[in-house]
């Protein structure tokens, strides 16, 4: 048993306050190192525990040790370092939870693009599925148009990924980028991932991908579009765009659609209606009793579809409608 494991076993055996007091006497790097070892403890036999305790001349209640693990390590670090614990906790969490491609989160997207641009689209899709949407969008924008389409199709179709496959890809990048990598088995990709990436992509990139994809899989494009903009996003519209929507949606559609909507969204709609139309809508909402959620969602989707059509015809720019227009003094 090495010294690091001995320290971890001892600290995990002690009452929390005593263990935290000992940790507080170490420098942050030592705290991180021993805490990772505590987090990795799956179980320690009575003999091993007794040996450690005897060596350090400490007392310990009987029974096997089962108090290791990530939660135990995090608790001790928080007690030992207080407000300075965040950085150490992040390092411990990343080391134990082994986030796929976590090392890339600190690498500039253009540098990543340089290393992945010539990879197979499936490999690029796997990597993008594990990165933040903005980083993935930047990488996607740097790919040739035909590769953009191939990658997006594969991201959309991706589900659970074998840890062996992730490990192979990570090993390849490790050799070329000399970075620390980890592996995990998790759900990645899917239509939601595509929507997230395209939501933060440049409008030209989004249009090109969706137009090309619609020629091969129009149903997939429709599914992506539905996830890219949701009914509650209407509350973010400025007044001018809200009025454009109201002109193209029948007042009778709003009552059912607003059932259960946020007060912010309701206020946005009422604010941009005439007094008479607003009073009628409030009255209609008041008359509506309990309604099926599916009916509400269907009516909301009808309005979302109208908004997407207005975007396609250039009457709305959703990327510019996410916040109120700024006023120039």
Given this model, what pLDDT does residue 329 score? 43
Q: What is the DSSP letter of 114?
A: H
Q: Give residue-wise pLDDT tens across range 283-305.
A: 888 887 778 888 888 888 889 88
Q: Is residue 74's pLDDT more than 70? A: no
Mean pLDDT for the stretch of residues 185-189: 51
Are 164 and 57 within one domain? no
Do 165 and 126 meet the contact criterion of CB atoms below 8 Å apart? yes
Residues 139, 112 contacting (CB under 8 angstroms): yes
Q: How far is residue 36's CA from residue 39's CA, in Å, rounded to a whole number?
A: 5
How many domains in the chain?
A: 3
pLDDT tops 60 at residue 95: no
Specify which of 74-78, 145-149, 185-189, 199-203 reaches the highest per-range mean pLDDT: 145-149
Mean pLDDT for 314-326 is 61
Q: Report d(CA 233, CA 322) in Å as an integer.
A: 8
Task: Mark which of 222, 252, 267 sits at the end of a domain.
Answer: 222
**pLDDT score for 197:** 80
| 195 domain residue, yes or no | yes
Asked if the structure places residue 327 within a domain, the reply is no
Count of beta carbons in the 10 Å neighbourhood of residue 187: 12
Position 268 scores a pLDDT of 92
Q: Are 219 and 265 in contact (CB under 8 A)?
A: no
Task: Please indicate, yes or no, whether residues 299 and 239 belong to a single structural domain of this protein.
Answer: yes
Q: Could you give the CA distance from residue 84 to residue 90 in angstroms, rounded to a whole number? A: 11
Which of the listed residues 222, 247, 266 is the one where a domain comes to its end?
222
Q: 204 exposed, middle or buried (CB, 10 Å; 0-12, 13-18, 19+)?
A: exposed
What is the structure's pLDDT at 124?
92
**What per-residue confidence (pLDDT) applies to 205?**
78
Q: Which residues of 267-305 are buried (b: 16+ CB within 10 A; e: fewer)?
A: ebbbebbeeeeeeebeeeeeeeeeeeeeebeebbeebbe
Report yes or no on whether pTM surpasses 0.85. Answer: no
pLDDT range class, residue 68, cuts 50, 70, 90: very low
Q: Does 215 lie in the same domain as 120? A: yes
Higher pLDDT, 109 or 254: 254
- pLDDT single digits (tens) 10-22: 777 766 666 667 7
- What is the C-alpha separation between 184 and 167, in angstroms, rounded? 8
Q: Is 42 helix (H, G, I), strand (E, B) or coil?
A: coil
For the residues 167-178, what does the mean pLDDT come to?
A: 74
- Same domain? For 208 and 262 the reply is no
Domain final residue, candidates 222, 245, 265: 222
DSSP 190: S
| Structural domain boundaries enclosing 190 | 102-222
């Amino acid at each position: 048993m090495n010294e690091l494991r001995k320290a971890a076993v001892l600290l995990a055996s002690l009452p929390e306050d005593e263990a935290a007091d000992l940790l507080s006497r170490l420098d942050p790097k030592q705290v991180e190192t021993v805490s990772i070892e505590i987090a990795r403890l799956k179980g320690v036999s009575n003999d091993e525990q007794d040996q450690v305790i005897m060596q350090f001349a400490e007392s310990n209640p009987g029974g096997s040790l089962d108090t290791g693990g990530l939660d135990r390590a995090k608790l001790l670090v928080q007690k030992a370092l207080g407000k300075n614990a965040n950085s150490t906790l992040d390092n411990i969490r990343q080391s134990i939870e082994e986030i796929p491609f976590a090392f890339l989160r600190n690498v500039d997207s253009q540098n990543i693009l340089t290393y992945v641009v010539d990879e197979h689209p499936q490999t690029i899709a796997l990597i993008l599925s594990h990165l933040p949407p903005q980083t993935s969008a930047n990488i996607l924008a740097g790919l040739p148009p035909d590769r953009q389409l191939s990658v997006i199709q594969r991201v959309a179709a991706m589900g659970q990924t074998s840890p062996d496959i992730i490990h192979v890809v990570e090993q390849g990048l490790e050799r070329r980028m000399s970075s620390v990598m980890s592996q995990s088995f998790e759900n990645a990709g899917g239509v939601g991932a595509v929507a997230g990436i395209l939501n933060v992509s440049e409008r030209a990139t989004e249009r090109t991908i969706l137009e090309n994809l619609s020629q091969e899989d129009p149903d997939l494009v429709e599914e992506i579009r539905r996830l890219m903009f949701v009914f509650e996003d209407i509350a973010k519209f400025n007044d001018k765009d809200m009025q454009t929507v109201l002109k193209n949606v029948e007042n009778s559609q709003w009552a059912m659609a607003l059932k259960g909507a946020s007060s912010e969204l309701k206020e946005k709609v009422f604010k941009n209606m005439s007094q008479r139309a607003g009073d009628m809508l409030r009255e209609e909402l008041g008359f509506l009793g309990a309604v099926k959620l599916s009916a509400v969602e269907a009516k909301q989707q009808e309005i979302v579809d109208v908004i997407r059509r207005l975007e396609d015809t250039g009457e709305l720019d959703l990327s510019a409608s996410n916040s109120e227009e700024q006023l120039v003094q």
